[in-house]
A and B are shown apart, each in its own frame.
Chain A
Amino acid sequence: SIKMHEKRNTKQKNEEKTPKGAVPAYLLDREGQSRAKVLSNMIKQKRKEKAGKWEVPVPKVRAQGETEVLKVIRTGKRKKKAWKRMVTKVCFVGDGFTRKPPKYERFIRPMGLRFKKAHVTHPELKATFCLPILGVKKNPSSPLYTTLGVITKGTVIEVNVSELGLVTQGGKVIWGKYAQVTNNPENDGCINAVLLV
């Protein structure tokens, strides 16, 4: 069957099976072998793909509930209306961001919690750079947070790496790369991230 085809029979060295002492001549050059099943490369690849396209430094993150990230703001004459929400975590808004008229904006992202730069570490160079953020790619807790630009631990952000001076094979300059946030920015006051190479 295909399964059997995929699992090859390999021969491995087996220490115990080698008999000590006199050995018949035709067995002299052989060491004990044992058969083991080794998964073929293809299987490995397929499993990798299943796991996800990216191998990230922070694979599992605690999911942030809505009550944690968004705070209810009461408005209205008698403070009865509760349709507005204020983001309590650090967020990123783009350059050309303008608020909607205050009467109509549902999600408030306070200016004090807006960050533009992140401290990004290159995993191989072990050097940290302060790079400007280009955008939020994915927030693992919820797609709503991604659209809002909320940055929590485990969020994948895109950063401007022109400072590093990376060049592609074709000679083009790389100026945007993904990085994953590794700390809780609302507790530390800064965004620390690891570059995804």
Chain B
Amino acid sequence: MALYNFKKITVVPSAKDFIDLTLSKTQRKTPTVIHKHYQIHRIRHFYMRKVKYTQQNYHDRLSQILTDFPKLDDIHPFYADLMNVLYDKDHYKLALGQINIAKNLIDNVGKDYVRLMKYGDSLYRCKQLKRAALGRMCTIIKRQKQSLEYLEQVRQHLSRLPTIDPNTRTLLLCGYPNVGKSSFINKVTRADVEVQPYAFTTKSLFVGHMDYKYLRWQVVDTPGILDHPLEDRNTIEMQAITALAHLRAAVLYVMDVSEQCGHSLEEQVELFKNIKPLFANKPLIIVANKCDVKRISELPEESQKIFEMFEAEGFSVIETSTLTEEGVIQVKTEACDRLLAHRVDMKMKGNKVNEVLNRLHLAMPTKRDNKERLPFIPEGAVVRKKRMEVDTPKRKSERDLELELGDDYILDLQKYWDLMNSSEKYDKIPEIWEGHNILDYIDPDIMRKLEELEKEEELREAAGEYDSESESEDEEMMEIRQLAKQIREKKKLKILQSKEKDTRGPRMPRTAKKASMEHAFVQRKVLEKEMTDLGLDMTNKDDAHYARRSRSVTRKRKRDESVPPTSVARSRSSSRTPRDVSGLRDEKMVKKVKTMAKKAQKKMNRMGRKGESDRHIFDLKPKHLLAGKRKSGKTQRR
């Protein structure tokens, strides 16, 4: 959620100004000199730049407007409603929507004309295209004249709205026009709201701030409300209604007892009843204003009954007079106290309480027997407390001394030493006396203590406290250590073996090795040997999976056996069918294939060709050799 600052919305220029601004900016900020004889790509780039620059400018400015103006869904509902009342939500949204559309249209125009300009082949053509593009963009803005005007007015009004924090402690004044709401706020806060004898002097909401119990309070003054149904209310009254509806505040319903406002008491009570639903969940106080003119007790019986009815319903009625200032403070304190209590209640019911609850709740342990367990307060604390109350003079501290002496002050810690002979405090202590170092003899028992220490250390060492961190080794660790030793030995052997190999002598090529001895795979003999070394029994392993050959030892097949030459490999490593019989079903096919191969070979052998591709000339007269002239030399050879 973007934080909106109503006072910092960018100025919305009028359509004409906007166009002038952008075009002159393009004129100033892009290069201006171009000639016909420049290269075409340079001309194109020159004009494309202008189109793009203008498009960019418009886009930026319009986006700025769109982001600065608050979205009615993102702000507090109080402000959303207020803006709806003042500026009409639909109109506002439409205006912003139009601006958005204009922005997109300008982007499209820019794109299209830049694309077209790529085909411009003369300066005139590019220039005309640029002119068309700029003209189109400006026409789009010209069409937005109404929206821009409206938004500018909204912006100006919005920046002048009073900053009402909807979440903090607020007192809301409401009532008929001319009952004394603005006078009240003038008295209680530093606000200076206009007070005049005609109705609807206050035409919008005003805020004042006051302090109470070290907290900041807002007091909101509303325009007067007349008594008619909601649909008939005009903008000014609707502002008051909005404030009532959305601000969680203590409501001060101001009534004019003397009926100087021009409306009778009954009318005021009627209004009260009509807007009562708005007072739900809010602490309410009836302020009977202008009591200097007429007190409640001076009123006729029926009117007094009205006030008694109010009291009966639980709304406190307080008489005030903003002129003589009586009762004003009382109203303030009562309203603030009730609001605070209300807010605490609300918070208790809310979710966030649990975090704070542990600090609020004092747990008392239940008594398990009748024994008195008083709180224990050490004596020193009691004494100190008493002293604090009596206010005895403190001991003079070093700091006080320092302040007193000023420049003459020397830190003298030796005066605190506790010696047998106090006159020796300031004696000088030598470092070496009769050939011995004084510091060695500070303690008479020092040698004894040293011996004791040394004995203790010996004991500790013997107990093994300083031994290294080797834990007791269990069987697992022993096994692992043994295996590690074996592995190390084997490794060394292998290294020695490989060193002994005679690599410089004649070596067999890899292909000559037997198929069963392919070194990528482990030989059976080697495998068995290694396993026996490690301790496994490998004596009767002829049936093992690795020992089975997937094909018979003899290469030649018997005639009547149609054993498939390639069997499904048990272990992939040791079965691979030779190339000339792979893919063939049986012996007959093998023979046929062989004869075919021989036949194909016959022709080539006769012609003396290596293979199929030998001796065939694809291109008898290649162009690159036979075409073209010679720079120098003759064409006898090519």
Q: Do A and B come from one complex?
A: yes
Hey, which bits of chain A sit against chain B, CB under 8 A? 71, 88, 110, 112-113, 184, 186-190
Q: Which listed residue (B112, B115, B118, B132) contacts A187, Cβ 8 A?
A: B132
Residue of B112, B116, B118 with most partner-chain A CB within 10 A: B116
Question: Residue A88 contacts which of B113, B121, B133 (CB distance < 8 angstroms)?
Answer: B121
Closest chain B residue, CB of each to CB of A89:
B119
Q: A190 — which chain B residues lie within 8 A by C-beta?
A: 132
B104 CB-CB contact with A under 8 Å: no
Pull 26 A–B residue pairs with CB atoms less than 8 Å apart, ordered by A.
A71-B121, A88-B121, A110-B119, A112-B115, A112-B116, A112-B118, A112-B119, A113-B116, A113-B119, A184-B128, A186-B119, A186-B125, A187-B124, A187-B125, A187-B129, A187-B132, A188-B128, A188-B129, A188-B132, A189-B112, A189-B113, A189-B116, A189-B129, A189-B132, A189-B133, A190-B132
Q: How far is the CA of A113 from the CA of B115 in the complex (A)?
A: 9
Chain B residues with CB under 8 Å of A186's CB are 119, 125
* Interface Cβ pair total, 8 Å cutoff: 28
Interface residues of B (CB under 8 A from A): 112-113, 115-116, 118-119, 121, 124-125, 128-129, 132-133
Distance of A183 from chain B, by nearest CB (Å): 10
For residue B119, give the distance in angstroms from its CB to the closest CB of chain A: 6
In angstroms, Cα B128 to Cα A3, docked, is: 53
Residues of A within 8 A of B121 (CB): 71, 88
Question: 4 tightest A-B contacts by CB?
Answer: A187-B128, A188-B132, A189-B116, A189-B132
Q: What is the chain B residue whose CB lies nearest that of A68?
A: B121
B178 CB, nearest partner CB in chain A, Å: 57
A112 to B118, CA, bound (A): 8
Nearest-Cβ distance from residue A179 to partner chain B, whole angstroms: 20
Q: Which residues of B contact A71 (CB under 8 A)?
A: 121
- 7 additional contacts, CB 8 Å, given A112-B118, A190-B132? A88-B119, A88-B121, A113-B119, A186-B119, A188-B128, A188-B132, A189-B113
CB proximity of B106 to chain A, nearest CB, Å: 14
State the Cβ distance, A185 to closest chain B Cβ, in Å.
10
Bound: A190/B135 CA distance, A: 13
CB-CB under 8 A from B115, the residues of chain A are 112
Closest Cβ of chain B to A45, distance in Å, is 42
Q: Nearest residue in A to B115 (C-beta to C-beta)?
A: A112
Residue from A88, A186, A188, A189 having most chain B Cβ neighbours under 10 A: A189
A189 to B133, CA, bound (A): 8
Which residues of chain A have C-beta atoms less than 8 A from B133's C-beta? 189
Distance in angstroms between the alpha carbons of A187 and B120 in the assembled complex: 8
Return chain B residues, CB-CB under 8 Å to A188: 128-129, 132
Chain A hits for B112, CB < 8 A: 189
Specify the chain B residue showing the minimal Cβ separation from A113.
B119
Residues of B within 8 A of A113 (CB): 116, 119
- A37 vs chain B, min Cβ distance (A): 49
A158 to B118, CA, bound (A): 28
Cβ-closest chain B residue relative to A184 = B128
Task: For the complex formed, measure the closest distance between the CB of A121 and the CB atoms of chain B, giving whole angstroms.
Answer: 16
A181 to chain B, nearest CB (A): 15
Question: In the complex, A112→B121 CA distance in Å?
Answer: 14
User: How far apart are the CA atoms of A188 and B136 in the complex, in Å?
Assistant: 10
A88 to chain B minimum Cβ distance, whole angstroms, is 6
Residue of A nearest to B109 (CB): A189
Docked Cα-Cα span, A76 to B113, in Å, equals 32
- Chain A residue numbers with a CB within 8 Å of B116 are 112-113, 189
Please measure, in the bound complex, the distance between the C-alpha atom of A187 and the C-alpha atom of B121, giving whole angstroms: 11
Given the complex of chains A and B, what is the CA–CA distance between A113 and B113 in angstroms?
11
A110 to B128, CA, bound (A): 20
A71 to B125, CA, bound (A): 15
A119 and B124 alpha carbons, distance in the complex (Å): 23
